Amino acid sequence: MGTGKNFPYYLANTEVTAIDFSEEMLKRATEKARKQGIEINLQQMDVQIGMVIVGLPYSETRQFTLDEISGGRPYGASTIAAGDGSRLPSENELAMARFQGRHVATIAKKLAGT
């Protein structure tokens, strides 16, 4: 989360849930969110403790396409959006998001022992 430097790029009526390890960073982000009218739920925690990050494996080759400018990196599916919301996710970006959803479900089942 940091201090919320990206808040000016959020669309109106965006609800944000975020975490940061630093209490000071959370205070600064809360203040920025309040000034910009952003509804925010901030939690102080360390993302590395008690969480499993399931990104896009390198075998998901759509993240490396050169056919279009596209979101999606090993940390996860994403989209490149215009600040005004005029650019919707591409079919490539949506396909990566669907792949990641299935991948997360598979990992969760393995962790649950089912």
Q: Is residue 100 part of a domain?
A: yes
Instruction: Report the pLDDT value the prediction gives residue 94, as an integer from 0 to 100.
Output: 95
Q: Is residue 56 part of a domain?
A: no
Contact yes or no for 16/33 (Cβ under 8 A)? yes
Q: Is residue 49 part of a domain?
A: no
Is the pTM for the entire model greater than 0.95?
no
The answer on 12 and 39 residing in a single domain is yes
**Residue 22 domain boundaries:** 7-44
Of 64, 71, 61, 74, the closest CA to residue 91 belongs to: 71
Using CA atoms, how far apart are residues 8 and 53, in angstroms rounded to an integer? Answer: 27
Instruction: Report the pLDDT value the prediction gives residue 6, as an integer from 0 to 100.
Output: 79
The answer on 96 and 70 residing in a single domain is yes
Instruction: Report the pLDDT value the prediction gives residue 18, as an integer from 0 to 100.
Output: 80
As averages over each run of 10 residues, the pLDDT of the chain (114 residues) reads 77 77 87 84 76 86 91 88 84 95 92 82
Number of separate domains in the chain: 2
